[in-house]
Amino acid sequence: MTRPVGSPAFDVSERSAGQEFIDPRGEGEPDYRAIQQSQEFARLRRRLRLFVFPMSALFFLWYMAFTLLSAYAHGFMSRKVSGEINMGTILGLTQFASTMAIVLAYRRFARKEIDPEVDRIRELAGVDAK
């Protein structure tokens, strides 16, 4: 079988389970190419994308809705809710609240889903965990 230029000397399926990602040249450095092409790294990237892209799209839609309401729905945004507090103020403050909610959700997601995968890859690469 011929391999494209720059491809590793092995396929991911040829790597035995638990084989460390140590550079075969014997320099003690991690083999970053092997890490990048490993199933573990692919799973890590997939998990990260499944959180980041939908959350980013959701926040972008929410931000655009707020921006468009601010630009074109003056009557709605200036509607008094309580005293001098109007809908624009409430929705503007909700932007901060939603940002904090996303940060906290990502922090929890990273701690439970991403960090264990990163630790596993670091272990296979022979790199000390921080």
pLDDT of 130 reads 58
Give yes or no for residue 3 having a pLDDT over 60: no
Binning pLDDT at 50, 70 and 90, where does residue 117 land? very high
Kindly provide the residue ranges of all beta strands, DSSP E only, lying in 7-108, ordered along the sequence.
Answer: 80-82, 85-86
pLDDT of 4 reads 47
State mean pLDDT over 120-126. Answer: 84
pLDDT of 53 reads 97
The whole-angstrom separation of Cα 125 and Cα 34 is 9
pLDDT digit string, tens, across residues 38-96: 899 999 999 999 999 999 999 999 999 999 999 999 999 999 999 999 999 999 999 99
Give yes or no for residue 17 having a pLDDT over 60: no
* 129: three-class secondary structure by DSSP: coil
The whole-angstrom separation of Cα 127 and Cα 22 is 10
Give yes or no for residue 23 having a pLDDT over 90: no
Residue 86 bridge partners (DSSP): 80
Binning pLDDT at 50, 70 and 90, where does residue 15 land? very low
| Whether the Cβ atoms of residue 128 and residue 110 lie closer than 8 Å to each other | no
Which position has the higher pLDDT, 35 or 29? 35
Question: Phi first, then psi: what are they for 30, rounded to 5°?
Answer: -65, 145
Kindly provide the residue ranges of all beta strands, DSSP E only, lying in the chain, ordered along the sequence.
Answer: 80-82, 85-86
Tokens of 124: 């296979």
Cβ burial, residue 21 (10 Å; 0-12/13-18/19+): buried
Query: Residue 37: which of 6, 11, 3 has the closest Cα?
Result: 11
